[in-house]
């Protein structure tokens, strides 16, 4: 059944979606208003962002130091800031960064906004919460937009992520990563294990096209 639905989506819905997203669109999520460039991942048509956003919404965020890696539209960062968190929002895509400066101002929040390839431009510090909606597909990114989707031919994104992650955590940090059932889970778990991390599923949500998971990333140091 799901295979049939995916086939229908690929041949009907996907072309219409690509046409719709070919120019800047205004998107509303509750009281948050965003202008989203066609060069930036749109949170309204993919459930991963909303799943992570709802999970974070149940956590006490007041005065917490929050890092969103790969913030894209900035929806999660803006929502966290509205709940009183001190948020660093980073993305490798310069277009996402430009739009987020405007969108954060429109929504009346202050964010520490950084253009960064993973942790490369983020000063070493300890965050209470790190939220990650990573690129999943094993292909080399060519354009800035590609980085929202492609993690490198051999999963280089996850190699770097888990190599550097511990430097930005303290003993009680909560690191949350959203994935879906089309990921190479074994590869991601292997990179985590190599760097002394475990991945524990804390939520899953199935829809007609895919199943999304939220994993809590924890250190396994003795």
- Using the predicted structure, report yes or no on whether residue 125 has a pLDDT greater than 60: yes
Which stretch of DSSP H or E encloses residue 129?
strand 127-132
With bands split at pLDDT 50, 70 and 90, how would you rate the model's confidence at 66? very high
pLDDT in tens, 100-110: 999 999 999 99
Task: Calculate mean pLDDT across residues 136-141.
Answer: 94
The answer to whether the CB of 111 falls within 8 A of the CB of 77 is yes
The answer to whether the CB of 178 falls within 8 A of the CB of 53 is no
pLDDT in tens, 184-213: 999 999 999 999 999 999 999 988 778 999
- Using the predicted structure, report yes or no on whether residue 215 has a pLDDT greater than 90: yes
- Using the predicted structure, report yes or no on whether residue 13 has a pLDDT greater than 90: no
pLDDT, averaged across the chain = 91
pLDDT in tens, 79-89: 999 999 999 99
Query: In this prediction, what percent of the chain has a pLDDT beyond 70?
Result: 91
- Using the predicted structure, report yes or no on whether residue 62 has a pLDDT greater than 70: yes
Closest CA relative to residue 126, chosen from 178, 67, 76, 197: 67
The answer to whether the CB of 84 falls within 8 A of the CB of 110 is no
23 burial level (CB within 10 Å; 0-12, 13-18, 19+)? exposed
208 burial level (CB within 10 Å; 0-12, 13-18, 19+)? exposed
Which stretch of DSSP H or E encloses residue 114?
strand 112-115
- pLDDT at residue 209 in the model: 75
- pLDDT at residue 22 in the model: 78
- pLDDT at residue 7 in the model: 46
- pLDDT at residue 15 in the model: 67
What's this model's pTM, rounded to 2 decimal places? 0.91
- Using the predicted structure, report yes or no on whether residue 3 has a pLDDT greater than 60: no
- pLDDT at residue 82 in the model: 98
Please state, in angstroms and rounded to a whole number, the distance separating the CA atoms of residues 194 and 163: 9
- Using the predicted structure, report yes or no on whether residue 126 has a pLDDT greater than 50: yes
Torsion of the alpha carbons at 154, 158, 163 and 168, rounded to the nearest 10? 160
- Using the predicted structure, report yes or no on whether residue 20 has a pLDDT greater than 70: no
How is residue 85 annotated by DSSP? -
3-state secondary structure of 26: strand
Q: Which two tokens stand for residue 188?
A: 């991601």
- pLDDT at residue 4 in the model: 54
Question: How far are the Cα atoms of 61, 173, 185 from residue 112, in angstroms, in the given order?
Answer: 16, 19, 31
Domains and their CATH numbers in the chain: 2-219 (3.40.50.150)
The β-bridge relationship of strands 211-219 and 197-206 is antiparallel
- Using the predicted structure, report yes or no on whether residue 5 has a pLDDT greater than 70: no
């Amino acid at each position: 059944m799901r295979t049939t639905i995916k086939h229908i989506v690929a041949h009907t819905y996907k072309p219409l979606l690509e046409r719709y997203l070919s120019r800047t669109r205004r998107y509303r999520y509750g009281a948050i208003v965003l202008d989203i460039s066609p060069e930036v991942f749109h949170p309204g048509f993919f459930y991963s962002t909303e799943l992570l956003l709802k999970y974070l919404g149940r956590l006490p965020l007041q005065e917490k130091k929050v890092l969103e890696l790969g913030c894209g539209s900035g929806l999660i960062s803006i929502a966290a800031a509205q709940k009183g968190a001190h948020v660093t929002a980073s993305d490798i895509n310069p277009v996402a960064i430009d739009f987020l400066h405007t969108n954060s101002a429109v929504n009346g929040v202050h964010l520490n906004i950084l253009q960064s390839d993973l942790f490369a431009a983020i000063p070493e510090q300890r965050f209470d919460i790190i939220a990650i909606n990573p690129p999943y597909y094993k292909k080399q990114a060519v354009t800035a937009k590609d980085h929202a989707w492609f993690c490198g031919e051999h999963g280089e994104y996850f190699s770097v992520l888990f190599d550097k992650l511990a430097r930005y955590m303290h003993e009680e940090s909560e690191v949350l990563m959203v994935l879906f059932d089309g990921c190479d889970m074994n590869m991601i778990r292997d990179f985590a294990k190599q760097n002394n991390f475990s991945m524990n599923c804390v939520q899953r949500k199935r829809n007609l096209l895919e199943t999304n998971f939220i994993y809590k990333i924890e250190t396994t140091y003795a």
